[in-house]
Each structure stands twice: as C-alpha cells, then as structure tokens.
Structure 1
Amino acid sequence: MVSVKVRLQPLVSRINLPTVLKTAILPGDTRERLFIATQVGEIFYIGNEEIVNFLDIRSRVIQLGTNGGYDERGLLGLAFHPNFTSNGLFYIHYSLAGTQGPGALPDPFEPEPCDPKTQNLQWTNREANYDHIDTVEEWIVQTNGKSMKRRTLLNLRRPFMNHNGVNSLTFSPETGRLVLTTGDGGSGFDPFNLAQNDMEIAGKIIEMDIQRNLQTTNPPIVTRFDELPPSMQETLTVIVKGVRNIPGISYQRLANHYIKYVGQVGQELVESIYSFIHYHPVRVSQLVQAYTNQSQPKIRGIVNLGWRGWEGNFPTPIIRECTNNPEITQKITAYYEEAVALSGNHIQPLTSYFHEDPRPDKFAGTALTGVQAYMGTSIPGLTGNVVFTDFVKKASTPARGALAYTSARADGSQSDFHEIQIDHDFGSESSYYVCLGANLNQSKLFLGTYRTSNVTDLNQGRIFEIIP
C-alpha cells in the first residue's frame, strides 16, 4: 500500500459535537451543500460563505451527558430522500426527550465463563427496564423553506445508553430503501445476546420500504420485530445481523454491483471493517412467521458479522491483567460455545486494527468512528479505496484521532491498512476524530473533530475537508 499524505481545510468551527456529515441539493437550489448534524439536535448546512440553520430539534432530544458528560444518545442519523431536491423529504434518527429510564441492568456487565448465569441473561420487564427510546422520523421541507415532521417510522426502546449507532441512516443506491444501522443495545459484551437473536431489532442493519409504509404514522414502541404490526413487518427486511456498534454503511459502485462497507466497533481487542457485495435480505414477516411456527427461517442470505461470539477475527475475549506480570494481559474466551457455533456462519473482516499494536507502521486505536468509500481523483493513492477514522490513538498527547485507508480485493481476501498522514497543526489542544463524511459522488471527504470526549462541553467541534 502506498503512503498517503493529506491536508485539512477548515470549513466550520465552534459547533457542537458533529455526528453526521453529508451533502444534498436543497429544493429550488442547484448547488450541493454540506449538511452537519450535531449530537445535541441541530442540523446546519454551509450556504454562501455562511452557516445556515436547517433544523433545530434540541427540545425533542433526550438530556445528554447526565452521567459525567459522555453519551452515545442524541441526534444520530440523517438521510435525504433520493428525490430530496424535488420532494423535500428527509429522515432523522434520535433519542427522544422525556424517555429516560433506569436501564436494563443495575450494574455493569462482564461475562464470567465459569458462571452460566452470566452467559444466558434475559432482558425482562422491558417496558420498565430500559434506558431510552430512539425514533426514526420522516420530515419535509415545505414551500416556505421551513421543515415539518410528517410521520414516525419506528420507535425503538433501548436497554442501555450506548451502542445506538451513529451516522445511522442512508438510502441504498441498490434498492432505493431507507437503511437503518443499529447497535446491539449497549452495556458491554451484549449481555442479552440481542445481536444474534432474529426477533431482536438491536444489532441489525435493516432496510425500510418507505413507499409501502405510507399508512404508518404512529407506530408502537417496541424492542422486537414480532411486536410490530404485520403491515410494518412487511415493509422491513434484515440484511445484516451480529452488529455490536456501527458508524453507518457506505456503498461503492463497482461495474454493475455495489460494494457495501460496514465498520464494527470492538469490545476489548480489535476494530473491524467488513465488505460484501451479494446478500439476500429476509423480510421481517418471514422471520416472525418462522419464530411463531418454531421453524428455521431461511436466513442464509443475511450477512452475519459474528458478534457477540466473535470480535473481528477473534473469538470474543475478556482481557485481564496477569497477576504476576501486570505488563501483559490474559485473554480469555468469553463465549466459547457461541464462537464455535458461529465459526462457519460469519464473514471475515476486510481489515482490522488493534487496541494494542507494536508494529512501527501501525497505530493503536480505541473506537471506529467513520467508514467512507472514496471515488475522487484529487488525493493520489486513495481513489477506489475505503477511508476510516478512529476516535483517538492510544497514548497520544495531546489526544489525536487517526485517519487510515484500506483496499477491497477482487477475490474477497483480507487486506492490510495504512495510516494516512495529516499535515495540519492542531496546536496543543486535543482533537478526537468523531465522524467522517462524503459528498454525493464520493469525490470529497469531510472530517469532524471535537476537542473533548464529552457532549456536554459545548461548541468544541470543527469540520474540515480532506484535501491533497
């Protein structure tokens, strides 16, 4: 892989923590604008040398950062209808105000292989034991330029604060459907194994046929597919399961196919990026029917990332310090039987990077925050590759995120990755890399950074275009 060096061109500063960066052409306009969604509930776009307020739903978003400032809830997804320029339709995913609950477990969770109870926990009394409710809504830009909510597409009760996904909405260029990427519900180690359960909405990538779903305006609050009305089940398909946490999905046109890239945020050991071309989505109504009849659904076409049995290429480990030598760690398989059961049923990552990596040309990361295909030609060495960001490199002082890339291979084999060198002076302040975006034809890349890791530290965000 070739060495790549880029610069960062500042576009916006002093905004709240950005979660989504993507472009669209407004109704009545001809120019492609960069839209920025923030975790607290704002959406802006860059107009003619100015920042324009597009939507403010801060009053609708749950109170963030109540437990120390860090939070994974908020405004997490923004997608524009493929015909947005003519119909003004767009879609948002956020955590609803006034829905704070006590959570599904009273204490932090870690599996204990010697204690079967920790291997088989059940999420009980869900209407009381949950953290918050996420919603997916359809909005429209009216003729007066103001936006109005049209309907709710999904209300999802979440067990914990974290793993709700980010950059979680897009439209598939293959099917024209709205795609929702959602994490396993949170805590750590997926305590209820929601990601592998076909009835659980958590831990899946779902396609929503919004054209067939026109009658749904106020759906029930659910956690499982079989709690949805049959009319809604018919409009949903599952394309990926075994998701832990995910910074969206990116599509790359290759001849007559699209390569799909998805990133899997790791638990203790490794961050992974997956790619696939062929898949056969399964309609939720089929999954529910099989569950009701206690039969085996035909789910061979669903892509499985392997979580919670597998973390990237590895059976999911618990990492503990070695008593006699604290400089090294003991890695214990957390879910041996699940790892064995999934050994032939999950796909291998395109590439992985690690939380500890002694190799001189690599970096030790913490959490994947963005994955984008790049089809531009202005940055030599990146054309046709997939670019990704990590929140913060281990032991970087001051804190710095990482920008890197990898390449898809025609034979589907695994690929290495290479860190992209950035020629930019951040000064003495920390700079966490919190999101990555692209324009409509993927010829431009945008980076969102934040000076702290807390959403409650306001106006600490910056947006850059990545340039040669």
Structure 2
Amino acid sequence: MSFARTTALVIGLAVSLAPVGCEKPVGAEETIPREIDIRADDHAFSPSHIVAGPAEPLAIALTNDGTEPHAIAFDLPAGQQRLSELAPGRAATLTFRAPEQPGDYAYYCPINDHRHRGMAGTLAVLARPQVTLVETVSGLSAPLALAFPDDGSDRWFVVDQIGLVFVIRGGEREPAPLLDLRDRMVELNDVYDERGLLGLALHPEFADNGRLYVFYNAPLREGGPEGYNSTLTLSELRISHEDPDRVDPASERVLLTIDKPQFNHNGGALAFGPDDLLYISVGDGGGSGDKGMGHPDIGNGQSRDTLLGKLLRIDVDGARPYAVPDDNPFVGKAGADEIYAYGFRNPYRFSFDQGEGHRLFVGDAGEHRWEEVSIVERGQNMGWNIREGAHCFDRDHPLKEPAKCPRVGADGEPLVPPVVEFANAKNGGPGVAIVGGHVYRGSALPELAGRYVFGAWTALEATPSGVLFYAVPHAGGELWSIQRIDAAGRDDGDIGHFLRGLAQDPAGELYLLASDRPGPTGDTGRVFKLRAQP
C-alpha cells in the first residue's frame, strides 16, 4: 500500500450539482492556488470541487453572478463559517484554514429556497503523506551530507561533522575513513557545535581527476583578528593513486579562507552547479542580529565588502587558487568578486533542482521567529538582517517585529522574499532551524514528485524530533503552501531524531542524515532512505 494520495477523489453530495463547466478540482495539480474564486449564479457554484491539504490556509472569494442574493457556508469540524448574504453583482472573501482531519466537507448556499437546490460543492481535504525511514548507514556521530561518485564504483561518501568522510559500499561502511581532517580542525564542543567538517563536493570530472572539495573550521590563522573564533577553510584534495578509497592527506590545497568572529552561523554547503562552477554557502559570522565584534554597522549579510553572509561562486579550473567567473554580479563593481548572492544569516544547506531549469533552493536558518527557503538568482539581496523571512527585523529587539522596514537595500536593490516560510517553534511554529532540502525527482515516492522536500532540525529544541515537510507553489507567486510529511510508525509523525541534512542521489531519491544527540559526539548518527509506507 502506498502512502496517502496527493490528489483526491471527490465524493458527490446528495444534492444534484448543475453543470458548471469545471473539468478538474481546484488544487488537484502541482500548483495550488492561495486564493480560490467561487462564482455563484442562480443554479450552482463554480468550481464545485476544491482540494486542499490539511490545515491549508484558504482565501475563498465569492462573487455573485446571479440575479438572486446568495451566501456561502462550510460544514467544518469547528462548526459553520459563513459569509454574509451577497446581493447580485457583489463579492466578499472568507479566510480560514482547512480542517486538520482529512475527508470531504460540504460548502453550500444556506438560503432555504427552492431556487437554490443544487447550490453545493465539496472541499476535499487530503491526508498527510507518510514515508518509511529505511536505515542504510549507522554508527556515525553527526552525518551532514552525502556524495555519490559518478565513477562506476557504486560508492557513497558520507560526511561526518567531526571531521571524517567514510566510504559506503553495498550499504556497508568501510572501517577506515576516506578522509580524516580532525587534526586540521578546531576542537568541537560535544554538547552542541555548528562548526566542523560541513561540506563536500566532487569535481564534475571526479571519475577522471579524483578531485574533491571540503569546507571546514580550522583554528584561527596566525595573525587573524584578535578574539575571533576560527578560520573557515575551503580546500581541494585528491584521491590517492594507490588506493581509490583514500584521500591523499598531503594533497590538500587551500583555496579560500575567511576569518570568522563567532562559533555559529557557518553555512558550509558545497555544490557544483549546472554551469560546473563551485557554489559555497557562508553564514554571517555568528552571534545575534548580525551585530557585534566582526560585524559592521550594516551587518555582514548586507555588506558586500565581506564574504560572510553570502552565497559564493568560483571557478576551480580557471586559475590557481581559483578564478572568478566573469558574470559574477560584482565583478568590476563595488563588492567582493566571489559573491553570487547576499543577505543570508545561516544558509546551512542548498540544492539545485535536478529538473529543467535547475532552480537553486537555499534554506536559511532564522534568528528567533521565522525560518525560510528562497529560490536564489544571481546578484539578489535576500534581505537579512533587514528582514527575517518575509518579516521586518529589528537587530536590537529581535523578538519584536517592527511595523515597518525598508523594502530595498543600501543601493536601492529590492529585498527578495522567500518562497517558503514557517514560524520557529519559539514563535509558535512547527520546528527549530530549517534544514534545506531538494525537489523530489525520484520514482519511489510518486506522490511527492516535483515537491520541494525539506525539514526542521527538531520540533522541540532539547528533544530529537526532527520534522519533514513538502512545499508546493501558489499560482499567485506568493509564499508556497507547506504540509507535514509524517514518519510511519510515529504517533506524533516526527522522525524521532535530530535532522542534520537531506541528500539526493543521481536517480532523484532522498536520504535523511540524523542523530540522537544535539552535539557532534557518540555513535547515534544514521542515514535513512525515504520509501513509501508499506
């Protein structure tokens, strides 16, 4: 049995529905409208069927095209919610959330008049999808990322935050690591730490040249700013000529270093884009509000004179240590040449859609109130620390949202809003710290095809209770609709672990990387593959 359908068979009501010329339910396709228009004439509503996810926010606009007065009512678990009676030619809007419970609910004209028989329709509320987590790797400390070499070896590489990369072959972890960087990193805090080995990317021609790239926190460099915490380090290494399951430790070539003032907000994701250029996410330097030591008055996110709070793009083949692509947005202008986009707080994970267009999705962890995902394009300002998500932010009062804030950056450039947003658990929302994901392009979970699947580190800060979601766009281009994905066998639907990352293999299938401890320690780290509920 596959998990719950993401389209619905709408059950007809006892009343007869007059033909209205609506061939398909609203919301049955990939794009779900945020606002639904219901038009009433003197015979029926159009559309007669509406489809929504559980707890989906709905804005129902009713327009009376008939000659008689009409109104609308919904039969929901909490009781009827109705609009006032509408005179002919008038319109009104009812905003509410669909029920949590899946099922079919009626909407109808409450005027008890024979002229309005058949004035009824169905709101079909979908069930939450459920997935099964199939354990594929265990015994790690804090797994963050997977890489899949395209070299015919049928290997995986799994990144452990403590400074190790392991080879997975046939579902089994090789005992000796592919790479050990522990002696080159800062000493990590077992209780909680955002530093460590954070990213791995394989060169597009890895099968031929054996080159790979890592991003990690090294100790503060000699001569670094006093009081700073560490040195963000981007390095190239090569596979050993003698052993394809080992990296030659002497092959390290440091490409880029960034002095970092605080221990948190490192970013750290690496990926080669469809243009074969290397993209690097970097946090704003840490602390709170993007202010304090190491943060200019404008904030690192907004300052184009620093690489902190940015998404970078470089050409690792064009020169040594690297070249800057000619079409990077600030080449020849004020701003660091490596910057591709800016205005980030902690862009911990990002991904390119495997589908047509290769959209770039970046998950950016929020301060206290809002978590976000953006589709990022060249040169954009994503808003931090003027905005947190789609909301105004006050760096001096981060728990209080100001009534107004600028819509543009210092040079008049627009602040680009996210496509996905949810409230942090401290703000009454479903999770703490967003974990960016992937657009699902596999075949094992057809109901999630084309959906952006992502998560939250945990639902409760001190409890291993990571949460999964999927998001679909709205026709109007506003914030996307998000829905929970439940883990099968869990009463509360969470995954029962701290979610540290999501990965996608070349076939488009998804994996979760998780552990049971908040810090990078122990051996509870595991990798799970997502499958349909049996």
CA distance 1:88–1:272, change in 2 (3 Å): same
Most deviating of 246-255 and 386-395: 246-255
* 1:270–1:352 Cα contact (<8 Å) kept: yes
Partner secondary structure for residue 85 of structure 1: helix
Q: Matched residues in 2 for 1:13 and 1:331: separation?
A: 42
Aligned pairs (5 A) from 1:57-456: 57-65=181-189, 69-96=191-218, 98-99=219-220, 127-145=225-243, 146-148=246-248, 149-166=251-268, 168-173=269-274, 175-191=275-291, 192=295, 193-214=299-320, 237-255=338-356, 257-276=357-376, 279-280=377-378, 302-317=379-394, 331-333=400-402, 341=409, 345-356=414-425, 364-394=430-460, 399-408=464-473, 412-424=477-489, 431-441=497-507, 443-455=508-520
Contact 2:203 2:211 (C-alpha < 8 Å) held by counterparts = yes
Per-residue Cα deviation, 1:295-336 (whole angstroms, up to 9, x for no partner):
xxxxxxx1111000000110015798xxxxxxxx972439x6
After superposition, the C-alpha distances for 1:123-175 in whole angstroms (9 at most, x for unaligned) are xx962131111111111113212312241110111011000014x111011x2
Separation of aligned partners in 2, 1:446 and 1:202: 29
- Compared with structure 1, are the counterparts of its residues 349 and 235 closer, same or farther at alpha carbon in structure 2 (3 Å cutoff)? closer
Q: State the partner residue of 2:156.
A: 34
CA shift in 2, pair 1:216/1:390, >3 Å? closer
Distance 2:469 2:308 in 1: 28
Structure 1 residues 253, 39: closer, same or farther in 2, change over 3 A?
closer
Runs of 4+ displaced beyond 3 Å: 233-237, 317-320, 336-344, 356-359, 408-413, 424-430
Deviations 1:91-143 (A, max 9, x none): 001111x4389xxxxxxxxxxxxxxxxxxxxxxx9621311111111111132
What is the RMSD computed on CA atoms of the aligned residues? 3.3
Say if 1:451 and 1:395 are closer, same or farther in 2 by CA, change over 3 A: closer
**Contact kept? 2:283, 2:309, Cα under 8 Å:** yes
Distance 1:357 1:151 in 2: 42
CA drift of 1:440 comes to: 2.2
Query: Is the partner of 2:207 in helix, strand or coil?
Result: helix
Count of aligned positions: 386
TM superposition score normalised by structure 2: 0.66
Aligned match of 2:527: 463
**TM-score (norm. length: structure 1):** 0.75
Indicate conservation of the 8 Å contact 1:250/1:372, yes or no: yes
Secondary structure of 2:458 counterpart: coil
Could you say which structure has the greater relative contact order, defined with CA pairs below 8 angstroms and 6 or more residues apart?
1
**Aligned pair in 2 of structure 1 residues 452, 357: CA closer, same or farther (>3 Å)?**
closer
Letter in 2 for 1:270: W
User: What's the offset of the Cα at 1:215?
Assistant: 5.0
Instruction: From the superposition, tell whether residues 141 and 358 of structure 1 become closer, same or farther in structure 2 (CA, over 3 Å).
Output: closer
From 168, 180, 192, the equivalent of 1:56 is 180
Tell me, in whole angstroms, the C-alpha distance in 1 between the residues paired with 2:460 and 2:142. 21
What's the offset of the Cα at 1:365? 1.0
Distance 1:186 1:432, change over 3 A: same
Judge conservation of contact 2:240–2:247 (CA < 8 Å) in 1. Answer: yes
Question: In 2 relative to 1, CA 444–417 (structure 1 residues): closer, same or farther, beyond 3 Å?
Answer: same
Say if 1:411 and 1:31 are closer, same or farther in 2 by CA, change over 3 A.
Answer: farther
Report the equivalent of 2:149.
24
Alignment CA distance shift 1:344-1:178 (3 Å): closer
**C-alpha separation between the residues in 1 aligned to 2:168 and 2:409?**
49
Give the direction of change, closer, same or farther, for the CA distance of 1:241–1:379 in structure 2 (3 Å limit): same
Q: Greater Rg, structure 1 or structure 2?
A: 2
* CA deviation profile, 1:411-435 (whole Å, cap 9, x unmatched): 6432110010111469999621111
Mark the CA change 1:164 to 1:426 in structure 2 (over 3 Å): closer, same or farther. Answer: farther
1:212 and 1:235 in contact (8 A); partners too: no
1:248-276: per-residue Cα shift (whole Å, max 9, x none)?
22111444x22111111010111111114
Structure 1 letter corresponding to 2:365: V
Write the deviation string for residues 362-415 of structure 1: whole angstroms up to 9, x where unpaired. x5211012321211122132111111110111389x531101111245764321
Cα distance, 1:176 vs. partner?
0.8
Listed as ranges, the gaps of 5+ residues in structure 1 are 102-124, 218-225, 281-301, 321-328
Judge which range, 369-378 or 445-454, deviates more. 369-378
Amino acid at match of 1:12: V
Unaligned residue ranges in structure 2 (runs of 5+): 1-52, 54-125, 324-329
Higher fraction of helix: 1
